[in-house]
A = this chain, B = another copy of it.
Amino acid sequence: MKFKHLRADRMADMSVNAIREILKVVSQPGVVSLAGGIPSPDSFPLDIIKQLCQEVIQKYGPAAFQYDTTEGFEPLRQALADHLNTNKAFDLHPEQVFISSGSQGALDAVGKVLISKGDLIGVEAPTYLGALQAFDPYEPVYINLETDAHGLVPESLEKTLQKLALKFIYLVPNFQNPTGRTLSRSRREEVAHILTRHDALLIEDDPYGDLRYDGDFIVSVKSLAPDHVVYIGTLSKIFSPGLRVGFYVPPFDLQDWLVIVKQGVDLHTSTFNQALAAEYLLGGHLKKILPSILALYKPKKDAMLAALDEYFPDKFTWTRPEGGMFLWVEGPTGYDGDALYNRAIQNNVAYVPGKYFFADGQSGQETMRLNFTMADEATIERAIKTLAGIL
C-alpha cells in the first residue's frame, strides 16, 4: 500500500530531528561526545528511587497504578506548588500547577491550543529545537528576536510587537539551550512590562533553572507578569528524564483548554511516576540530592571553560554560563562549520553544529553547542584540545 498521498498537509515539511540523527552517529564506541543534551547517569538517585518505589506502593496502593485525572496527581501538584513557592519565589495554589509528560508535553499542548497555520511565534535565535519540533505540526511562522550575551534584547521584542501580532513568544530565560545564556533580572522586568503593555503571551520554558552553579537566583518572568506567561518546568534534570514528568503553570483562562488537548493526546501522565516524583519532593530528597548534582556538573563546566581559555584561538568566543548543561562557541563570520564538524568526527570528538538551533534554517554556520554534563573533566579537556587542534 502507498501512503504518501494519505499524509496530512501538515507533514509536508516535517523531517526527523537532525540532532537525534547526530546522536545516533556519535554514540559509537570511542567517540567523545559533547553533543548530547542529557543528564549524567551519575546524577540519578537510584537508591532513593528504589526506596521510593516501595513507599509509593505502600502509601498509595492501587491508586498509583489506576487511571488518574488529566490535570495531574494531586499530591504531586501540591508538592510542586510548595517547591516552587519555597525555592523559586512563586505564590501558587496546587490547582494552578498542571502535570505534563515531560516539558515536551506542555509545549505540544501549547502549540495545539494556540497555533493556527501561519500564526507568528517569536523565538530567540538560536532557540531550543525540541520546542520547534512541538510547534511545527501546527504550522506556525517563526519570527527571530534579537539576542546578545544577556539573552533576549527587550527592544527587539518591543519593536516586533509594534509591527506584528505574535501568537506568543517562546523563551528559555535560564541557561538557555543551546547558548547557556541567562536573561538578566532587569531585562525580565522589561519583558514583563512589554508583555503587559501589548497584552502578549510568553511561553517561559525553564528546564535548567535548578542547575545554577554560580551567581544568584533570578525570579521568573511568570512571577513578574503572572497572567501573561505559561511557565513550564520539568523534573528531568533534577530527578530522572526517563520518568517523563514535567509541569506547567498557565494563566487561569488557558487552563481548561490545555487540559482538554492533553486528554486527547495521552489521557494523563503516568500515575506511578507522578507518585514517585511527589514522594521525591515531599520526602525532602531533592533538597539532599540537588547539591550533589551541582557538585557533579560545576567542575565539568569549569574544566570546559578552562580548556577553551587555554587552547582555543582568539578569533573564537564562547559563553560563560552560570548553570545548565551547555555552552556556545562562535567562530569568525564565514567560518565553515560543516568542514570543522566532519574533521572533529574523524578525530572522535562530537558536538552539535549550532546551525541546527536557528528556526530560519540558514544562520549559525560558524557556531557550535558544547555539552559539559556527560564526559569527565579530563576527557573534556582532551576533547577541547583536539577541537582546538583542528581549528
Binding site for B on A (CB under 8 A): 1-4, 6-11, 14-17, 20, 38-39, 41-42, 44, 46, 49-50, 53-54, 57, 61-68, 70, 101-102, 104-105, 108, 112-116, 119, 130, 133-134, 136-138, 167-168, 199, 201, 227-228, 236, 240-244, 251, 253-254, 256-257, 260-261, 263-273
On whether A244 and B228 interact (CB within 8 A), knowing A116-B9, A251-B1, the answer reads no
Let me know if B114 and A7 touch, CB within 8 A: yes
> Which B residues are in CB contact (< 8 Å) with A101?
101, 244, 265-266, 270
CB pair A136–B46 under 8 Å, yes or no, is no
> Main secondary structure on chain A at its contact with chain B?
helix
Once the chains bind, are B114 and A16 in contact (CB under 8 Å)?
no
Known contacts A260-B15, A267-B130, A272-B240; A46 and B67 CB within 8 A of each other: no
A265 in complex: contacting residue of B39, B265, B268, CB < 8 Å: B265
> Which of A62, A115, A268 has the most B CB atoms < 10 Å from its CB?
A62
The answer to whether A269 and B256 touch (CB under 8 A), given A113-B11, A167-B6, is: no
- In the assembled complex, the Cα of A4 lies from the Cα of B113 at a distance in Å of 10
List 27 A–B pairs whose Cβ atoms lie within 8 Å, in order of A's numbering: A1-B201, A1-B253, A3-B201, A4-B253, A7-B257, A8-B112, A15-B260, A17-B260, A20-B70, A20-B263, A41-B65, A41-B66, A46-B57, A49-B65, A53-B53, A64-B242, A65-B240, A101-B244, A105-B265, A105-B266, A108-B266, A134-B265, A242-B270, A242-B271, A244-B267, A270-B273, A273-B273
Best-surrounded residue of A67, A113, A130, A257 (most CB of chain B within 10 A): A67
CB distance from A68 to the nearest CB of B (A): 6
- A166 shortest CB reach to chain B, Å: 10
Asked whether A8 lies within 8 Å of B242 as measured between CB atoms, the reply is no
Given the interface pairs A6-B114, A66-B241, the reply to whether A108 lies near B53 with Cβ below 8 Å is no
The answer to whether A44 and B66 have CB atoms under 8 Å apart is yes
Cβ of A276 to closest chain B Cβ, rounded Å: 8
Min distance, Cβ A319 to any Cβ of chain B, angstroms: 24
Task: Determine whether the beta carbon of A8 is less than 8 Å from that of B113.
Answer: yes
Q: Which of B17, B68, B102, B264 contacts A104 (CB 8 A)?
A: B264
Q: Report whether B54 and A50 are in contact in the complex, using a CB–CB cutoff of 8 Å.
A: yes
**Whole-angstrom CA separation of A271 from B273 in the bound complex:** 11
> In the complex, what residues of B have CB within 8 A of residue A105's CB?
265-266
Verify B112–A137 contact, CB threshold 8 A: yes
Enumerate the 7 nearest inter-chain pairs by beta-carbon distance, A residue then B residue, closest first: A242-B271, A41-B62, A53-B53, A65-B240, A65-B242, A133-B264, A101-B266
CB pair B1 A199 closer than 8 Å: yes
Query: Roughly how many angstroms separate A15 CA and B272 CA in the complex, as a whole number?
Result: 28
By CB atoms of chain B within 10 A, which of A108, A137, A272 has the most? A272
* Shortest distance from the beta carbon of A134 to any chain B beta carbon, whole Å: 5
Give Cα distance in the complex from A272 to B272, angstroms.
10
Most chain B CB atoms below 10 A, which of A15, A68, A133, A267: A267
A270 to B228, CA, bound (A): 31
Give A110 Cβ to nearest chain B Cβ, in Å: 10
Closest B-chain residue to A271, C-beta based? B242
Q: Which of B1, B10, B20, B257 contacts A228 (CB 8 A)?
A: B1
CB neighbours (8 Å) of A133 from chain B are 263-264
Contact yes or no, B137 A267, CB < 8 A: no
